Amino acid sequence: MNNSDLIALRLGYLNITQEIISRLASSAAVVKGAGVTVLAAMLAYASSDKAANFQWWLFLPPGLIFMTFHAYFLQRERAFRKLYNQAAAKPLTEVVSMVIDTASIQAVKEDFCEVLCKKSVFQFHVPLNIFVILAFLSTRNDWVNRVSLLLGS
């Protein structure tokens, strides 16, 4: 195989990897938007007269589910970025393995809990959930008592 073939193969691999990264980033953005939409819909329902028994903690499970999905897609995106960077850093004349399998991803992926605590995940979903819960509590007549109960004061 000559150098131009190696370069063409490398560029093909990098293009495929870049497309995967783009799809994962899009999925993470969709999950964030869906999380906002679901929590807003729940808030609208909870604020209506039909939901007299709705409790503030019912916002937590969907919020945590969307936070988990966001972290999952971010974890995968970061793993593929590392694979991309590894392939891009090698000399063009060196043959790069074109195999993208579970073992290669597992070797470079970050711990899930670390990704869950990243700014882009934690600082988006936690304030969103707190805001929605406080907005819900403000629709109730005794919201001051509920907030002080929630904060433990």
Buried/exposed 2-12: b ≥16 CB within 10 Å, e otherwise: eeeebeeebee
Q: pLDDT tens, 89-116?
A: 988 778 888 888 888 899 999 999 999 9
Which residues lie closer than 8 Å to 49 by C-beta, 6 or more apart?
none
Domain ranges of the chain: 3-151
Q: How far is CA 27 from CA 13, 17, 81, 118, 129, in A?
A: 21, 15, 15, 17, 20
Is the per-residue pLDDT at 152 higher than 80?
A: no
- Better pLDDT: 2 or 45: 45
Q: Give the percent of the chain with pLDDT over 70.
A: 94
What's the pLDDT band for 143 if we cut at 50, 70, 90?
low
Give the amino acid at 98: M
